[in-house]
Structure 1
Amino acid sequence: MTAGRVGIVLVSHSAAVASAVAELALGLAGGGDRAPILPAGGTPDGGLGTSAELIASAAKAVDTGAGVAILVDLGSAVLTVKALLAEADELPPDTRLVDAPFVEGAVAALVTASGGGDLDAVTSAATEAYTYRKR
């Protein structure tokens, strides 16, 4: 993990989905020194859902001082992250909930962060993934 790069947290209701998307993003981002990315999926007991504790822990683990981008899969994950953002000390400074497609946004965010993009650039790249056409 390189200091000074934006960290990325992938929040899914499923630990397996969050881990698989992180693995895919890492594979597609290429070799070399990549920005930190961690999954925060499911509940601490392995069930489906979201966990404020897992999200906060992952965000702190990927924080290198350049900000943290959090991407989520479904609506209630948004609510969990928003609740954490409302609490002063739950997430690292400059943590941002990014409105982006989960898979494509994760890849775009990781590639941009690994290339040294700042939090605004990472957010923009992930958000722009909404425009990717599949036809």
Structure 2
Amino acid sequence: MTEQQQLDGFIDKFTPEVAAQARRALAMVKARLPGATVMVYDNYNALAIGFGATDKVGSIVCSIALYPRWVSLFLTHGPTLPDPAGLLEGDGETVRHIKLTGNRLDDPAIWVLLDAAASVALPIDPAGEERLIIKSISAKQRPRRP
């Protein structure tokens, strides 16, 4: 089984609505961050898919996390990003997130924030080849559907 087949299987555990929103978000982030290394963590609470310059957690620019009822976009350097639209949620010291509910992926302010996060992170070589790496799979997981 390939890494892409594994990732597809992880996503398929969620409701069709969450899976569709996640696949759309993944396609949009991949288009925005060509050449990124994609790291997959099938964790206890959520399926997290990070995008970075290398296979190290410290290089992650953003990640998409799937929960039973929604998908979120997490942005590294979130507290320092300009957010005039007030989209970022959370109070973490490093990361903030946006719940991708409804048509939120169509909001250009999200992509401005992603570009800002990418501009202060370790640079991703756009000419590089995308790599998909399954970093971890938790033996015990919360249900993926409500």
Check whether TM > 0.5: no
Where is the helix percentage greater, Structure 1 or Structure 2? 1
Q: Which structure features the higher share of strand residues?
A: 2
TM-score, length-scaled by structure 1:
0.30
TM-score under structure 2 length normalisation: 0.28
